[in-house]
Amino acid sequence: MTRTAQNQLKVATWNINSARLRIDQIVRFLNEQQPDILGLQEIKCIAELFPYAPLREIGYEHIEVYGQKGYHGAATISKLPLERLETKFCPAGEARHVSTRSLFGEQSFEFHNFYVPAGGDEANPETNPKFKHKLGFLAAMHSYFEQRAQKGDDNQILVGDFNIAPHEHDVWSHRQLLKVVSHTPIEVETLARLQKTHNFIDVARALTPDDEKLFSWWSYRSRDINKSDRGRRLDHIWVSPALEKAATQSGRDALTVHKACRFWDRPSDHAPITLTLNM
């Protein structure tokens, strides 16, 4: 799939679960889908060990990495020049975000790439430090974008593994997962407040009916995800109001969850998502 018009900006997000282990899959995906910019999460390596060369060989010369040894990490890979924005979101100082500004034609846009903490097993910040950490990270995002909104809308795109499936049909069973971290009311409400800071559009749900199941993650424990389809929509692409028309005017064909990648050899448990914006 390639762009059919010069005014189309194609963005992507993918929790890759180790960039070095799956560099061949990243290259394959980029060659097949040709996004202009890709946000990777959970790269699991420091910046010096990130596999830059294979990506630059296929035309992705601009790469910004925030890495950490063995855990977490985010990287933004682009055909377009990137200007790194200095942002701080993680209360624990972990490598979980990359913010950049880029130029597409004569339009600039911000691309914020996030790996929100998973939050552990118990949705109680008083007894579970991991969940407290997750809420703290989301609070830092809330504060930043609330302040950014006051400065105007500079064509912002938010992507990443938010580790929250907010809607009833973003999980395989709303009733059974209400008390499971990633779909608890406190997380859903917190994410909704974050979304309102800048009236961000959750593009997947803007293009897909609320009563239709939509997933981007399937557990490794599931032997046949096509048969059971016990997934969750943990990965997101949001846009600011200035880009709403660009993101949605092409309808459902603009956004794709590439579930087929979940069947590649030794895959990530997340599928990549692409969005084509008519700029």
Q: What is the pLDDT of residues 248-278, one digit of tens each?
A: 999 999 999 999 999 999 999 999 999 999 9
Predicted local confidence at residue 2, as pLDDT: 44
Is the predicted pLDDT of residue 223 greater than 80, yes or no? no
Non-local (6+) Cβ contacts of 224 within 8 A are none
Three-state SS across the chain? CCCCCCCEEEEEEEECCCCCCCHHHHHHHHHHHCCCEEEEECCCCCHHHCCHHHHHHCCCCEEEEECCCCCCCEEEEECCCEEEECCCCCCCCCCCEEEEEEEECCEEEEEEEEECCCCCCCCCCCCCHHHHHHHHHHHHHHHHHHHHHHCCCCCEEEEEECCCCCCHHHECCHHHHCCCCCCCHHHHHHHHHHHHCCCCEEHHHHHCCCCCCCCCEECCCCCCHHHHCCEECCEEEEECHHHHHHHHCCHHHHEEECHHHHHCCCCCCECCEEEEEEC
pTM for the model stands at: 0.96
Report the first-to-last Cα separation within the chain, whole angstroms: 18
Alpha-carbon gap, residue 154 to 192, rounded angstroms: 21
Alpha-carbon gap, residue 174 to 252, rounded angstroms: 24
Arithmetic mean of pLDDT, 227-232: 89
Arithmetic mean of pLDDT, 54-72: 98
Q: Which domains, and CATH codes, for the chain?
A: 8-278 (3.60.10.10)
Asked if 77 and 84 count as a contact pair (C-beta separation under 8 A), the reply is no
Is the predicted pLDDT of residue 119 greater than 90, yes or no? yes
Is the predicted pLDDT of residue 222 greater than 90, yes or no? no
Non-local (6+) Cβ contacts of 161 within 8 A are 13, 15, 41, 42, 114, 115, 116, 234, 235, 270
